[in-house]
Structure 1
Amino acid sequence: MNPIILKVAIAEPNIMLRLGLEAMLKKLSGYKVQTLDITDSIDQVIDQLSLQGVDILFVNPLISGLSLSPSYTPDRHIRVVALLDFHIDSSFLKGYDDSILISDSMERLSEILDKLLSVESGEAGLESQALTTREKEIVVCVVKGMTNKQIADSLFLSIHTVITHRRNIAKKLEIHSTSGLTIYAIVNKLVELNEISQ
């Protein structure tokens, strides 16, 4: 399965935080992340977002002079995530699609990306019967005989999130057995026969 290519901009003056977030993004399975570092100039943020075709912008809302709201993003397909040192009042984050603390886990980062990308592609609800990329990854893991815990560990998710994804997969496909998922995965070329555990 081909990874999703994401263009991510990081507007954070602290180089350690920028490099740390970039490293975490590149470790996530299912994504190939291209990053663009931005300093603290609001003009530079707007110019670079326009020119680079950014999908997701991580921004420190406390950067001097940078109070990002939806009007600052020239293309509203760009999802904006507040990068926070500490919890702040949610009313301050009204222009953002989501927020993440610098102390949050890989699991939380993965959940944010999954949520933002499913909203962008119109797959947020169960109305769309097509599986999301993450759901396809989970189908492959199930077919390979992995437990919920193994799936959670390999995809940087919580066990609860894996169970929720599996429940959504069962509802969308109306398949409630591993053997049924195996047939689905083979027919839809998610796995090869030799990849399936005996």
Structure 2
Amino acid sequence: MIKLMLVDDHAILRDGLRNLLEIEEDIQVVGEAVSGEDAIGNIGECNPDVVLMDINMPRMNGVEVTGILKKLYPEIKILVLTMHNHDEYFLAAIREGADGYLLKDAPFDQVIDAIRSVARGESVIHPSMTKKLLNLHQQKKQEENENALTEREKEVLQCLVEGLSNKEIADKLFISDKTVKIHVSKIFKKLNVKSRSQVVIYAVQHQLVNFPE
């Protein structure tokens, strides 16, 4: 039996969900909350397996409540059910530990399946949000590629760690002083540092270079 807690400030929606859920033999509604504070205060007594969480609530939204509950009760699964399909809500909820994210326009059968899935330890994401997650992953991967050092920049970085001046780097790598300056500027930008000492510390901490003997 899956013990479920409903967290939503709309009584009509809670009543409708509860009436539909009561038909399911393997799901039992053990508690309801009209606000985030109410959910945090009563969840220990209800001891649910799954929390069906709304986002748009007064004073404390569902994303904040999700983060707090996950810290207090990490074993409890939280399935967000909301009308918000905005990236910021979705990503924030996932970052706070939500186990699933569904939109309220989802068919009820899909909601039931999602409750059972998160109860089993699986993750559930509304189909329209899956595309957002993939786009975010691709964007992050592209940014990482753009910030990755080229082979020549790695060589220049190695020289910086060894304490060589721009002139010495130019002589060692058989390039001009101007080219060295361009490489150093790009390295600073990619690693988000502003000085040679900072770039050396960053390179050593992140093991980007070989240590000079």
TM-score by length of 1: 0.51
How many residue pairs align between the two structures? 115
Q: Distance in 2 between matches of 1:32 and 1:57?
A: 12
Partner of residue 180, structure 1: none
Tell me how far 1:100 sits from its aligned partner: 2.1
Secondary structure of the corresponding residue to residue 99 of structure 1: strand
Matches within 5 A, 1:120-139: none
Distance 1:55 1:11 in 2: 13
Native 8 Å contact 1:60 1:84 kept in 2: yes
Q: Which runs of 5+ in 2 are unaligned?
A: 124-213
Structure 1 distance, partners of 2:43, 2:115, is 18
Matched, 1:49 2:46: no
1:59-78 alignment runs, 5 A limit: 59-64=53-58, 65-66=60-61, 67-73=64-70, 74-78=72-76
Aligned twin of 1:38: 33
Matched, 1:112 2:111: no
Structure 2 match to 1:91:
91
Unmatched tracts of structure 1, length 5 or more? 125-198
- Native 8 Å contact 1:22 1:35 kept in 2: no
Give the direction of change, closer, same or farther, for the CA distance of 1:32–1:61 in structure 2 (3 Å limit): closer
Q: Which amino acid aligns with 1:68?
A: V
CA deviation digits over 1:52-71, x for unaligned, max 9? 21111111112122222343
Q: Is 1:26 aligned to residue 28 of structure 2?
A: no
**Residue identity in the other structure for 2:17:** L
Secondary structure class of the residue paired with 1:27: coil
Residues 39-80 of structure 1: CA deviation (Å, up to 9, x unaligned):
11x332112111221111111112122222343342211111
Q: Pick closer, same or farther for the CA change 1:68–1:32 going to 2, 3 Å.
A: closer
How far, CA to CA, are the matches of 2:104 and 2:84 in structure 1? 8
- How far off its partner does 1:83 sit? 1.7
| CA-CA distance at 1:109 after TM superposition | 1.4
Q: Which one has the largest radius of gyration?
A: 2
SS at match of 1:119: coil
- 1:159-170 matched pairs, under 5 angstroms: none
- CA offset at residue 11 of structure 1? 1.1
Higher fraction of helix: 2
Summarize the alignment of residues 134-153 of structure 1 with structure 2, pairs less than 5 Å apart.
Answer: none
Equivalent residues of 1:70, 1:76 under 8 A apart: no
1:92 CA drift (Å) = 2.6
Change (3 A) 1:70 1:35: same
Structure 1 stretches (4+) deviating beyond 6 angstroms? none
In structure 1, what residue type is equivalent to 2:113? E
Q: Partners of 2:32 and 2:117 in 1: how far apart?
A: 23
CA distance in 2, matches of 1:57, 1:32: 12
C-alpha RMSD of the superposition: 2.1
Matched residues in 2 for 1:6 and 1:52: separation? 12
Moved more, 14-23 or 69-78: 69-78
1:58 aligns with 2:52: yes
The counterpart of 1:11, out of the listed 7, 11, 21, is: 7
